[in-house]
Structure formats: structure tokens, C-alpha cells
A = this chain, B = another copy of it.
Amino acid sequence: MNRNIPRSVSYENGRLIFLDQTQLPNEIVFEEQTTVEQVWHSIKMLKVRGAPAIGVAGAYGLFVGARNILNRKTKITHENFILELTKLADYLDSSRPTAVNLKWALKRMLDAAIKSTEKNVSTLCSLLEKEAILIHEEDKKLCRNIGENGLSLIKSGMGILTHCNAGALAVSELGTALAPIYLAHEQGIKLQVYSDETRPLLQGSRLTSWELMQAGVDVTLITDNMAAHIMSQGLIDMAIVGADRVAANGDVANKIGTLGVAILAKYFNIPFYVACPFSTIDLTTPTGKEIKIEERGPEEVCHFGNRRTAPEKMKVRNPAFDVTPHHLVSGLITEKGLFLYPYAEKIQREYRPT
């Protein structure tokens, strides 16, 4: 892999390291995580963010907890070990109760311990270490597959617009939306990436711009409302964004502002792609209309950092997501392949057992 792509979670020689994303881009702080409490706090305080990254962080966190149990002076029985492990998993899960990937990863770790025929707690602990590494490796492989499936869309000299952060900091290694970009960069394909700053929380300026710069990708930061002008100048050949959820009909829920980018891309005849793990497609949600949009507090819109930028008692809307109708999406880039529009039926076929 490109050694310069920042890693939000890494595990090497028995040391679990998180990159503190709350301090980016001003400070680059790596923190070793040595206790379950510390991992809980890191997830809670958004030092680690992005659904897949949280899952990986939680899995390693549970292993760190198991290792600390074993390091105590008093020996523990198999029964008590499983009991403590279950409590630790519940505790870790409470750091971000709505994070589906965290719950999933913790359950997978716990199941690995509970269902194992191995009763030696020390061996069980090694097994947990292997399982966490496996979850991490699977996530990396998934990103690389997304990257490979999107790579065919990228030609030398292209201008690519992205919105929010669906990169290495949110997932593992290559990210989702940024995976084809990183792979193209690895292969020496010349690109010009434009990163929307992504108000109100500025994931584009704080995270995407930073991680692409670190990796040596040529990236230019713009405010969200500059995208139309930049497109009108012929500088954008393609837009790639991530997704929070894709409905069965192909409608895409993603960070607020994604719908605007998709409409502008349509107007300027620019292909608009969504990159996401195949598991992001939720067949139980028929269309985008059924996706509830989280409305967040007014402070994010009225303030910048600690500084108030709008009048006191200002009425504000702050939807965290929007829904892009499937007909504006040129295709979905997933680890199972590139699904070009109209893709809804192809997705559903992929889900059917063959």
C-alpha cells in the first residue's frame, strides 16, 4: 500500500494506535490505546470516526480488554473470562449506541470466544487477537476491491470532485470514495481532486484534504458553493462520494450536500458515482423516502468552532443527510463490482442466493 495514506487505526507488534481525528488538521497525534476505558473514550469523543473504522477499533479494543484480564496476577476461569468479556463488549458498544458496525464487530469477537471449543483462556485471547486482525484485514480488502472496481472509471488528467470524508480516516487503508483515487495515484495516473469543505462540520477541509495531501494526491479545497463554478469551468470530469445507506431502489442517503452535487453533475453532464461496501445497500428500505433524516442541533450552523457567526436565537435547519434519487447516480462502486445505472435490479439479483 501507499505508505503515506494515514491510518486511523493500526495494530503492530501488539500495540493498538489510534490517530486522534479531533485534532486534525492542526495537530497529528497518535495515541496508544492500552485499556478498554481508553478505547471507549476515544470512540465516544470521535477521536476515531467513520462506521467501518469504529467497528475495527471496537474489535481491537475488546482484545486489549481480554489481554488486560490475563495480565492480572490472579488467574481467571474460562467461565469468568467469558463473563467479563461479555461485560466489556456491552460497555464498548455503549460508546456509540447507533453504530451498527461497532455492534456487529463486537458480536463477532464475542461469538469467536464463546463458540470456540478452546477452553484455555490464554489461547482464547490469542484467538481474539487473530479475529480482530481478520476483521481489520477484511475491511482493508473490501476497500481495495472497491478501489479496483472503480479504477476503470478513472483516466489520466481527470478532475474529480468529492464531498465529505469517505477516505482512509473513515474506513481502513484506502477508504471507499477515495479508494479508486488512491489506487490511481499508486499507479501514477495524474489526477486533480477537488474536495468540498462540507459544512457544517468541515470533514472535507479537515479530513479529506488532509489525508489526500498526506498521500501526495494533488487536491484543491473549495467551499461547497464553489462546486457549480468549478464544474462550469470544465475542471470536473467525475464526482465520487460515499454513502450512509442505499435503498433497494438505489436512492442514496449520504452527508448533507450530496444531493446538490448530484444535481449539478447532472446539469453539467458529469458522471456521479457512489462508492460503498455492498452491505450499505439495505433491501428492507424500499426507497429514499423511507430514510429518516437526522436533524442535528443549531450550534453547528450558528457557530464556527467556539465563535458565534449568526445572530442569537437564530432559527436554523441542520439536516445531517440528504437523499439523492437513483436516477442522478451513474453507478454504485462496491466490492462486488461496479453497478451502472439502472442498477436497482442488478443489486437485488446480487442479493439473491444463486
Which residues of A approach B to under 8 Å, CB–CB? 25-26, 194, 196-200, 202, 205-206, 209-210, 213, 218-230, 232, 256-257, 259-260, 263-264, 266-267, 293, 301-302, 304-305, 307-319, 322-323
Contacts and interface: CB of A to CB of B under 8 A. Distances in A.
Given A263-B228, A309-B205, A316 B222 contact: yes
7 contacts: A26-B308, A206-B309, A220-B315, A223-B224, A232-B323, A260-B260, A304-B304
B209 A223 contact: no
B314 A209 contact: yes
B224 A199 contact: yes
B260 A309 contact: no
Given A225-B224, A310-B205, A230 B317 contact: yes
Given A256-B223, A322-B232, A197 B199 contact: yes
Given A267-B267, A311-B213, A319-B229, A223 B200 contact: yes
Nearest to A315: B220
Contacts of A197: 199, 301, 309-310
Chain A to chain B: the 9 pairs with minimum beta-carbon distance, closest first: A225-B257, A228-B260, A229-B322, A224-B225, A199-B223, A25-B311, A205-B310, A304-B304, A228-B259
Contact of A25 (B220, B232, B310): B310
Contact of A322 (B228, B257, B312): B228
Nearest to A319: B229
A205 B307 CA distance: 13
Contacts of A319: 226, 229
A165 to B, nearest CB: 13
Contacts of A307: 304-305, 307
A302 B210 CA distance: 12
A312 B27 CA distance: 11
Contact of A301 (B206, B222, B314): B222
A209 B311 contact: yes
A35 B307 CA distance: 33
Contact of A225 (B205, B232, B256): B256
Contact of A260 (B225, B316, B323): B225
A205 B298 CA distance: 12
A304 B266 CA distance: 31
Given A220-B316, A221-B310, A304-B305, 14 more contacts: A25-B308, A199-B223, A200-B223, A205-B309, A205-B310, A209-B314, A220-B315, A224-B224, A224-B225, A228-B257, A228-B259, A228-B260, A229-B293, A266-B267
A232 B210 contact: no
Contacts of A230: 317
A313 B221 CA distance: 11
A40 B33 CA distance: 58
A324 to B, nearest CB: 9
A198 B309 CA distance: 12
A348 to B, nearest CB: 25
Q: Which of A196, A260, A312, A313 has the most CB of B within 10 A?
A: A260
A318 B221 CA distance: 9
Contacts of A313: 213
Contacts of A267: 263, 266-267
A314 to B, nearest CB: 5
Contacts of A259: 228-229, 232
